[in-house]
Chains A and B, each alone.
Chain A
């Protein structure tokens, strides 16, 4: 009997034990699908995080007191600009403020209006302008929850002793660009300063350096008293470099916590059930079948190969189906129901394109887990039945 002929009998075995085949494939599918979907979202996030670092500034300069981040004086701008190696400095305000009757948490970002490009393709509408009422571009989650659309007016939602003004929505971020736009309200630096009632403070300075000057500029800032003398209750500078942010990324790929630790536990728990189904529950039936095969002249290694092909096909079907289902779930159903588990601050139906990337390594890993789970049960029980004399196996 050739190897191909033995392998064909493995396929036949799949069809003979239909219920067992379906149960094992379904169980493996249920174990693998959340794993592949979660890894897909994780890798998609990593891709977007890489873009966030790549297209961001070289250095982020903020302030620290008591080990916590604090705002820094806006008038440090000129001193930072005059440092050797500094190409461009952008002051930025990033803060949170509740908005609407339900108190939706908004990430309010203020940047100098002069730094805004004339037109951008990532928003529907236009960029905020410095003159006139406060103008905002809002994220998709805020648009949905607060029923905001381009041209809508916002009654005063902040407190300022110099008076409050009606604000205007001039644009909405497009849903496909990023997860992080969903709660953002983008406006000019001056408008953000009025909303937070902090005319002289900002959150951080974004610094672009001349090539090769990043470390030199960073060290100069750390040594300086740009935010006031630290010995006299000043604010200590805090510098985050692009390189430091890149350093966080590889660890994210290899080190997964939380839901993944939990999922692995569930996977192993379910895996025990699979092993029971494939070995224990089907043992008497398998013993009879193996006994007949042995009585008709089959060798032990041929019977093991038959079982190997059968279970390899089961693992391949389950892993392939899980990859396809994960793709459909994340791409066409946009992670409906599952995005809120993997991503924080997101509802059941996301208002943005869920970031995901299905890599070959998680898919291969899922296939290997399937193979190990199925083989460990089936091959052992097959081998036990195959090494005994046929009359004993048939008894």
Chain B
């Protein structure tokens, strides 16, 4: 086998291995996670594992918005040590001052 053929074979094997990695990463055991969430009534949402640093970054059910967010300041979210490096971010929960609707959010301001 000449060198060109070996390179092509190598690239094909590498590409197939990458596809295999993508397929393997999507298979996971979810029963333990489901049981844990049913046990604690739904806990955790963001990329924070510690509630004391940023409750909103841990779970928006426990705090409607980040308490360290400097809202009028550009990139003010980054002042929070959690959101500054967040890999998974989400907006604050809507106000519940009004009536809950049957719409997608379930809440209207």
Contact = CB atoms under 8 A, between A and B. Distances in A.
Contacts of B73: none
Nearest to B92: A248
Nearest to A51: B33
Contact of A239 (B3, B8, B58, B100): B100
Interface in B68-109: 77-78, 81-91, 93-94, 96, 98-102, 104-107
Interface residues of A, number: 101
B25 to A, nearest CB: 4
Contacts of A174: 32
Contacts of A90: 41
Contact of A52 (B28, B44, B57, B63): B44
Contact of B49 (A204, A256, A345): A345
Contacts of B44: 48-49, 52, 178-180
Contact of A344 (B7, B22, B50, B102): B50
Contact of B43 (A180, A255, A324, A342): A180
B24 to A, nearest CB: 7
Given A56-B37, A343-B47, A320 B96 contact: no
Given A176-B32, A249-B90, A15 B41 contact: no
A271 B82 CA distance: 28
A259 B50 contact: no
A278 interface: no
A184 B90 contact: no
A186 B40 contact: yes
A335 B78 CA distance: 24
Contact of A219 (B42, B99, B104): B99
Interface string A250-272: 01100111111000000000000
A69 B63 contact: yes
A180 B58 contact: yes
A187 to B, nearest CB: 11
A258 B93 contact: no
Interface of A: 8, 11-12, 14-15, 38, 40-42, 45-49, 51-57, 60, 69, 90, 92, 94, 96, 105, 107, 109, 111, 116-117, 120-122, 141, 173-174, 176-184, 186, 203-204, 206, 214-215, 218-219, 222, 237-245, 247-249, 251-252, 255-260, 313, 316-317, 319-321, 323-324, 326-327, 330-331, 341-346, 356-360, 363
